[in-house]
């Protein structure tokens, strides 16, 4: 059985394949909600060209924030896995 994250995804149906990328799995989905909610007032208020120019200027800073988030998230996940395992083990103990 193939993992879909390792399979190419084609963004266009042309024979050339269009844009090809490996599937992505967003583990920290709420990051996107935060970014969208914070950016939305500016997206509505500013002309598209100015908005996207400013948004593109944020890419390096967003990259740094996501790296920091990845580290914090990894530790939080390990902590929660241990807690979940403990709770499950307590309920399923013979």
* pLDDT tens for each residue of 42-93: 999 999 999 999 999 998 898 888 888 888 888 888 999 999 999 999 999 8
Give me the residue spans of the domains in the chain. 1-47, 58-94
Neighbours of 52 (CB within 10 A): 12
CA 25 to each of CA 39, 46, 77, 87: distance values in angstroms, whole numbers, following the listed order: 23, 31, 15, 27
Q: pTM for this one? A: 0.54
* pLDDT tens for each residue of 27-55: 666 788 889 999 999 999 999 999 999 99
Decide if 8 contacts 20 (C-beta within 8 A). yes
**3 state SS of 69:** helix
């Amino acid at each position: 059985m193939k993992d879909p994250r390792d399979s190419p995804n084609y963004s266009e149906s042309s024979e050339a394949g269009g844009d090809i990328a490996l599937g992505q799995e967003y583990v920290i989905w709420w990051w996107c909600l935060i970014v969208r909610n914070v950016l939305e007032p500016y997206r509505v208020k500013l002309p598209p060209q100015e908005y996207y120019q400013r948004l593109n200027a944020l890419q390096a800073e967003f990259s740094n924030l996501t790296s920091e988030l990845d580290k914090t998230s990894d530790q939080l996940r390990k902590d929660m896995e241990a807690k979940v395992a403990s709770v499950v083990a307590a309920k399923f103990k013979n």
